[in-house]
Amino acid sequence: MDLNILWFILISVLFIGFFFLEGFDYGVGILLPFMGKNDTERRIVINTIGPVWDGNEVWLITAGGAIFAAFPNWYATLFSGFYLALFFILVALIVRGVAFEFRSSDRSPRWRSAWDGGIFVGSLLSAILWGVAVTNILRGVPINGEMQYVGTFFDLLSPYTLLGGVTTLLLFTVHGALYLTLKTEGEMVRRAWGIAKAVSVAALVVLVLLAAMTYFQTDLFLSTPATLGILVCALAMILTVLFTYKKAAGKAFIASSLTIASLVLSVFLGLFPRVMVSSLNPEWSLNIYSASSSPYTLKIMTIVALTLVPIVLAYQIWTYWVFRKRVTAKDVHY
């Protein structure tokens, strides 16, 4: 295995970790107005992710930094072509992050309601836009022979990519609802189960429809590993629905996690060795060699990653262990 392949794998793992962790994070934000019937309940919902939401986003920052350093041409083409879409994601994440910090700085109901809306909208837009972005990368975008994006923002919008956005929205919502069954008590748990049951069935139907459209819109199913990944994803989603209806919280959350992880893994398996597909000419697609940094850069990055990544992982695992208990009304501080 050369360093180009190693860094493709590492970036894949970073995005899998990001979507797994930030998936329930977004889901909780989306469910905030539906789970919280009063200010105390909304505070409980926010507190379930309060200690971890910013740490979850570190996975995205790290993945972006890894792409910039290991595959600069991928970074340049991606961020120039997806500039407006990524700008919207960034604005949504900023509004969401600011809302978490500012919400409790004033007791005014109007003030708190406005920031709650910011959390909801920021989570909703992020969940949809990530699905649109990922399906565009898989389907292919107009990239010329100079590795330049030559399309417009509206070239990124199609029935297939919008369906991708709906799919991630529903998957993250289910993921968030199941997370809340593990982190809340009483009536809020019953509320979360009701949402999880309804949305999980819808997510399964949309996921199957997305898989069918992916077969016709992309070449993902030409890859045997990617095809197996999609089958695992479908099976995991079926198990998510079954465990949800049995109210087996732990098993349902694990199945939901596997659904998201296998879906993201399938995307990277279907792309390999490409990193961005050109819809104009397959030979113009960026791959792990044409888009990479020098071997010396990859070598230095590997040394740094092997040193620092275990420390970051240990810290995040410790954070989840410390805040592993359910959140109740007595934990809310005004």
pLDDT band at 231 (very low <50, low <70, confident <90, very high): very high
Cα–Cα distance measured from residue 327 to residue 320, given in angstroms and rounded to the nearest whole number: 13
Cα–Cα distance measured from residue 240 to residue 258, given in angstroms and rounded to the nearest whole number: 9
> Residue 119 sits in which domain range?
3-331
In the block, tokens 């989603």 appear at: 237
Q: pLDDT tens across 167-220, in order?
A: 999 999 999 999 999 999 989 999 999 999 999 999 999 999 999 999 999 999
Cα–Cα distance measured from residue 300 to residue 323, given in angstroms and rounded to the nearest whole number: 35
Find the helix packing angle between 83-102 and 109-139, rounded to 10°.
150
Here the tokens at position 230 are: 């999609």
Proportion of the chain above pLDDT 90, given as a percent: 78
**Total number of domains in the chain:** 1
Rg over alpha carbons for the chain, rounded to the nearest Å, is 20
Neighbours of 273 (CB within 10 A): 13
CATH number, residue 273: 1.20.1630.10
Here the tokens at position 110 are: 């109007």
Here the tokens at position 62 are: 């790290």
Q: Is-contact 118 98, C-beta < 8 A?
A: yes
